[in-house]
């Protein structure tokens, strides 16, 4: 399923693996997979649209502007 939906499945799998390993911020994920933090948002947005991950923001902050975003796995099949 993921191979048909994603242009670079290895990159997306690496992001999912990083989140499962406890790397939940964009900078932590970027460091874990060896890429620039600015590139992560493209991948995380796609994973959100596929309902594989969810973006969490503190209730006291605006979701669109928050820099305190964390990601978590939504699909229990990917909690490996």
Give dist(CA 5, CA 27) in Å, integer: 25
Domain at 63, CATH number: 1.10.10.10
- Rounded to whole angstroms, the Cα distance separating 3 from 68 reads 30
Report pLDDT digits (tens) over 12-71: 999 999 999 999 999 999 999 998 878 898 999 999 999 999 988 877 767 666 677 899
**Bridge partners for 71 per DSSP:** 55
The model's confidence at residue 78, banded by pLDDT at 50, 70 and 90, is: low
All residues at 6 or more sequence positions from 20 whose CB lies less than 8 Å from its CB, including other chains: 73, 78, 79, 80
Provide the domain count of the chain: 1
Look at phi and psi of residue 79 and say left if phi exceeds 0, alpha if psi is from -120 to 50, else beta.
beta
- Domain of residue 66 covers 2-78
Strand residues in the chain grouped as ranges (E)? 53-56, 70-73
């Amino acid at each position: 399923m993921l191979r048909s939906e994603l242009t670079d499945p290895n990159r997306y799998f690496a992001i999912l693996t990083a989140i499962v390993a406890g790397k939940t911020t964009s900078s932590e994920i970027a460091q874990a997979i060896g890429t620039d933090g600015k590139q992560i948002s493209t991948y995380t947005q796609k994973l959100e649209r596929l309902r594989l991950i969810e973006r969490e923001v503190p209730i006291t902050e605006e979701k669109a502007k928050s820099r305190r975003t964390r990601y978590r796995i939504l699909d229990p099949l990917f909690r490996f």
